[in-house]
Amino acid sequence: MKNKLLIIPFVEVFSKAVSFLNVLLLVRILPIQDYADYSYIVAIVLWSSVLMDGGINSLIYNRSLKNKKGGINILFTSRLFLSVVIISILGLLFILNKPELFTAGIVFSFTIYFSSSSALVKMLARGLGYIKVDLISIITEPLVRFGFLLIIYLTREYYAFSLNLVLVIYLFASIIAFFINKYFLNATFSLTLSLGSIKMIYKNIIISLNQSKFYLLYYLMFIGISRLDILFLESYSNKQDLAIFSSGLNMYMVAQLFFFSIITSQFIKLYEKRNLLFKFIIPILLLAVVCSNLISVYIFKYLFPIAYIEGQFVLNVLIIAILPAVINFYYITKNNYENKVKLNFVLLGLVFLIKLVMYLVLKPTDILEYCYIFLIGEILLSCLFGIKYVYESITNK
């Protein structure tokens, strides 16, 4: 089992490589103005997806780590109905504030629901030790999405693909991927909807939210910290800067998610031998920062359209944040495992508020200012976790 677990990060590397190709295809398919709209929609919907999920994914993963399977289908069902409610509210907000993005926003909301459902399958399988299902869930959606995007890219000269149509294809890919992942999971664990009366569904949603409320709150802050920059860029700057920042951010996210997958797949080992984090993962992170700064100019010169060339400077700053971000993620996962979810919410909420105040006071217009604020947020959170760790070490002596 331990040897098989070691395969997961390498499969994640392949998955992130495919996701990287998907980003490259998307920026070549969409005009830069459409890519800016896409980035804004992603920021809004991903933040809203925290409410759609209700913290249930994190709760299920934490339970699966302890091999607690009871009530998972009730949580899964509650998550579906909660998502429908949040998507409906989100659609209303798009109509009131950005009516031109209503269709794209709703379609992408359902895409995120099915994508996060695949993530639920992956994390449930990972926590329960179903390695085959875990591996399939890692690669399915990126590969299906890549297939569709490649067809679009090769036929773009013959047909003009609008943002709405591309997002509909994204939705189709996420639905296919989810049902493939669920099919393989059902061989070891039957993930089904527990349908009943409206009253019973409502009762189950309230029970589920009561169990997961602090997972919901901390994850709301977690996503908010990483997506706040996009929202203020849309308000204070122009679409080209928004698209350029997003291109660098997406490259950073590909690298970040790879290291996050190491934390989740090897968490028990890292928890029992915490020196592994500092002996192996941190040196690799430092190497990633150096390599990224050396090759970013070539990435944006040869792989991106010329309009995105300044994305190299964005990536050069953002990649520095990967060091504190991965350390933060380890301590977040550790606190969840130790049932200290409320502490995560408090620390993340504090950083979110500080970052929000910085944007409201500074009102930055230069794209690099957003990069520095992004970096400051991750460093500040690391400092808070460090202070908490030192305090516990002193008081436990």
pTM flag (> 0.75): yes
Residue-by-residue pLDDT tens, the chain, 397 positions: 455 556 777 787 788 889 889 989 999 999 999 999 999 999 899 888 888 877 777 778 877 877 777 778 888 888 888 899 999 999 999 999 899 999 999 999 999 999 999 988 988 888 887 888 888 999 999 999 999 999 999 998 888 889 999 999 999 999 999 999 999 998 888 888 877 656 676 776 777 677 777 888 888 899 889 889 999 998 898 889 999 999 999 889 888 888 887 887 778 788 888 777 778 888 989 999 999 999 999 999 998 999 999 999 999 999 999 999 999 999 999 998 888 889 999 999 999 999 999 999 999 989 999 999 999 999 999 999 999 888 777 776 5
Q: How far is the C-alpha of 179 from the C-alpha of 140, rounded, in Å?
A: 10
